[in-house]
Chains A and B, each alone.
Chain A
Amino acid sequence: MASVSLAAAGPVIPDYSAQSSSCVVHNHLFCTDWISHNFSPILWPALRQHILLALAAVAIGFAISMALALAAHRYRRLERPTILVTTFLYTIPSLALFELLVAPVGPNVFSAEIALVSYTLLILFRNILTGLRAVPAEVLDAAEGMGMSRRQALWRVELPLALPAIVAGLRIAVVTIIALATIVYTIYDAGLGVPIHTALGEGPFKTELIAAGGLAILLALLSDALLVGVQRLLTPWARTRAS
């Protein structure tokens, strides 16, 4: 009884004033009408921010990792120090890293991105380098023996052959970053973490929590499926094994 009146009092759930349905008022587990009323003002902006946060982090992380992996592919001795540094970054607890960055950078999108990017490096660097190294020696010998330059061999042979390993790394990175981006709210007011955090303060009202959390999961699954599809399109040769 008390909880009903508390919910109806209205300070915790934003913007449901006169339209509040009995579902919302009675704290049913999942209220579709709450979703339809709050999708455009709350969920959609959060989802869009979340996508942008993750996309930027993976794109920047990919560019850095690719450069590092190409360098380590050519100069073997760069591998160990790179692994060391990226592993260190990967092991810092995420909440701590976010807080650590606020002091020098400020509670803004830059802190958020630096933290997210740093978590992609180890995964992407390792996968790209593994992919490049797995190119068979005789294939490279043939490429060189037929008169390809280093650059031509890289673009025409090594990178295409490393693609499955690279996409495998991207899939892990994307799913990881989409999950991690839900705690960006602790330093910067963006992403699905915002409605999730709000919902956690909404007591028995679970719709917002389920909706925002569900969106994060759905986003991760869809992104993963998208990458699988892209890989299938780009590597038709990998599907024809042992026919």
Chain B
Amino acid sequence: MKTEDTAHNEGPSAFAQAAELELRGVSKLYPGQREPAIKELSLTVPAGEVCVLVGPSGSGKTTAMRLINRLIPISGGDILLGGESVLEREPKALRREIGYVIQQIGLFPHQTVGENIATVPRLLGWEEKRIGERVDELLALIDLDPAEMRTRYPSQLSGGQRQRVGVARALAADPPLMLMDEPFGAIDPINRARLQDEFLRLQAQVKKTVVFVTHDIDEAIKMGDRIAILREGGVLAQYDTPQEILTRPADSFVAQFVGADRGLKRLALTTLAELKLIEPNGLRPDESADGARRVPRETSVRDALSTLLSAGGQPLTVIDGEGRVEGLVTLTLVEQLLSEEAANANANGNGNGNGNGNAADGG
């Protein structure tokens, strides 16, 4: 019993405290440019939350990231990590404390997976024994078999595996902050969805403060506790929870950016588990549960609606992990949810900040 308990408990407790990140009036003007790439950007990411920076190409997302770990010099304003200005830190020491993941991953091709993950611990001068343990712990965390994967070279991995190793490498020294610049941008849609789900599971365990860059609004809605929408010129258009942004876009730019289907996207934020399902015997006479399709409770309302429509409006049976029937979902129920949300929105109700429940078609 001891082994299972410690393995399970060590996870979260082994990780250092996440730190709050605050950008205060940050500006960046590249030499020789007339317009700033970032203009007076202010936002605070609470410790342990995922902030997604989203915006069209050229809106300064990458620039904002590289200002935070001081890969490029700041032109104005201040950046605070855990209440301390990063501008007062020695850049190399600062970067060793900030996990950094980029779209092209940048694994070292001449080093094994184990050596890649050990990069920052080595720079920090950890003992070899501790490094070895940490590498195995991280490989297990990203679902790669340590014994098999530790000695492989990056060229012997699939694209998805490489990206996961990139994340593990960034997590190696237990940084209080992770910067991820379009980390899944180069992965095919199916594997991207898997990596997203995996990262959310991982984040639930490690609870880092994460700045996650993407140009894909769907990814932003899925990954973010909060979303910062940037427009050209690095101007912050809106910084809010996914629910709020979908319900109340700040202006026409945001409305256009999140898309005309933002009502549907909002449905993606809620899972069937969060609904008050209909008792199996509580159907109206014109509805029948005979031969109904079964969907897992983790399904998003959006995907359930899609299934409902393709089933010709017949109710769906919602089941839990063991296949037990939890209740039924019907078009009427979805309608109810929509009108409740609309009422909430008008009453200035607070959106649900947790936009992370949507592992569709989990069965």
Contact = CB atoms under 8 A, between A and B. Distances in A.
Interface of A: 136, 138-149, 152, 156-157, 160-161, 163, 235-238, 240-243
Given A138-B106, A141-B106, A146 B100 contact: yes
A138 B104 contact: yes
B69 A145 contact: yes
26 contacts: A136-B106, A138-B102, A138-B104, A138-B105, A138-B106, A139-B108, A139-B109, A142-B106, A142-B107, A143-B106, A145-B95, A145-B100, A145-B106, A146-B96, A146-B120, A146-B123, A146-B170, A147-B91, A147-B95, A147-B123, A148-B92, A157-B108, A161-B109, A237-B109, A237-B153, A240-B153
Interface in B155-214: 155-156, 169-170
B93 interface: yes
A161 B92 CA distance: 22
Given A145-B102, A146-B96, 9 more contacts: A139-B109, A145-B69, A145-B106, A146-B100, A147-B92, A156-B108, A157-B110, A237-B153, A241-B155
Contacts, number: 75
Contacts of B94: 147
Contacts of A241: 155
Contacts of A237: 109-112, 153, 155
A160 B156 CA distance: 18
B354 interface: no
B71 interface: yes
Nearest to A164: B110
B17 interface: no
Which residue, of A146, A161, A237, has the highest number of chain B Cβ atoms within 10 A?
A146
Given A240-B155, A242-B155, A149 B92 contact: yes
Contacts of B91: 147
B119 interface: yes
A15 to B, nearest CB: 54
A143 to B, nearest CB: 8
A161 B71 contact: no
A235 to B, nearest CB: 7
A147 B106 CA distance: 14
A241 B155 CA distance: 6
B155 A152 contact: no
A147 to B, nearest CB: 4
A160 B108 CA distance: 10
A138 B181 CA distance: 12
A220 to B, nearest CB: 29
A141 to B, nearest CB: 6
B326 to A, nearest CB: 46
B38 to A, nearest CB: 18
Contacts of B110: 157, 160-161, 163, 235, 237-238
Contact of B123 (A138, A148, A240, A243): A148
Nearest to B95: A147
Contacts of A240: 153, 155-156
B213 to A, nearest CB: 13
A47 to B, nearest CB: 36
B108 A147 contact: no
Contacts of A236: 153
B106 A139 contact: yes
Interface in B68-126: 69, 71, 91-96, 100, 102, 104-112, 119-120, 123
Contacts of B112: 237
B227 to A, nearest CB: 24
Contacts of A161: 108-110
A129 to B, nearest CB: 19
Nearest to B96: A147
A111 to B, nearest CB: 40
Nearest to B111: A237
A136 B105 CA distance: 11
B71 A145 contact: yes
Given A147-B93, A240-B156, A142 B123 contact: no
Nearest to B103: A138
Contacts of A156: 108
A154 to B, nearest CB: 13
Nearest to A236: B153
B82 to A, nearest CB: 17
Contacts of B104: 136, 138
Contacts of B95: 144-147
B245 to A, nearest CB: 29
A143 B71 CA distance: 11
